[in-house]
Copies of this chain bind each other. A is one copy, B any other.
Amino acid sequence: MLSYTEENYLKALLMLSFQNEERPEAGTNEMAAYLGVKPATATDMLKKLKEKELVTYQKYGKILLTELGREKATAILRKHRLWETFLYEKLDFSWDEVHEVAEQLEHIQSEKLVNKLEEFLDFPEFDPHGDPIPKANGDIPAIDKVLLSEVTAGEVCKVVAVKDTSAVFLQYLEKLNITIGTKFKVLEVIDFDGSLSIQIEKEEPRSVSMKFAESLFVKR
């Protein structure tokens, strides 16, 4: 049985491993920063996780989830995303409100609850932010996506996920009438600052920043 805190460390490591699929190892400071604790605290916890064979690492080395650790972490992520979907779909929470509550709900221990919840939601594949929801067996649905910043002028694409899930960004998207599924055409890419001009069907063209384009995943 894992403690609430141990679960958070595992999930953090899994999330960090997604940030750079080719280099899935994390550093102590990186992990501490992600969780909002001091590096010393992270080191202590690392020893414990290593003891339980949930991570592999040696002093001053990189941290990697073991197969077991990855399984546990994936199960937590599954719960997190299912709860987010529940809050969004059934309880009318908005895009930017679901995360905080799901952070708590993800720690509820009940196999049955998760699976019943998934069934109740009709086996969703993606959460409200477009992120894939791991299946009960640990499989993670694949999705064909690229950052908007990689799209070239003239292409038409559809929003499939957000990279940045901060409230400010999500609220900005809402204001722009952009949500998962929105289609638009990239009219122009400005080399100078990386900004681009996009046109949502039947709307006026609109200019968005490079930062914006690096926060949104689309399907070409």
Binding site for B on A (CB under 8 A): 87, 90-93, 97, 100-101, 104-105, 108-110, 112-113, 116-117, 120
Contacts and interface: CB of A to CB of B under 8 A. Distances in A.
A91 B108 contact: no
A100 B108 CA distance: 11
Number of copies: 2
Nearest to A91: B116
Contacts of A101: 108, 110, 112-113
Given A101-B108, A105-B108, A113 B90 contact: no
10 contacts: A91-B113, A91-B120, A93-B112, A93-B116, A97-B112, A100-B110, A101-B112, A101-B113, A105-B105, A105-B108
A6 B195 CA distance: 52
B108 A92 contact: no
A108 B113 CA distance: 15
Contacts of A116: 91-93
Contacts of A90: 120
A87 B113 contact: yes
A117 B90 CA distance: 9
A110 B91 CA distance: 13
A91 B101 CA distance: 20
A47 B173 CA distance: 49
Nearest to A87: B113
B108 A104 contact: yes
Contacts of A112: 93, 97, 101
A100 B113 CA distance: 11
A7 to B, nearest CB: 13
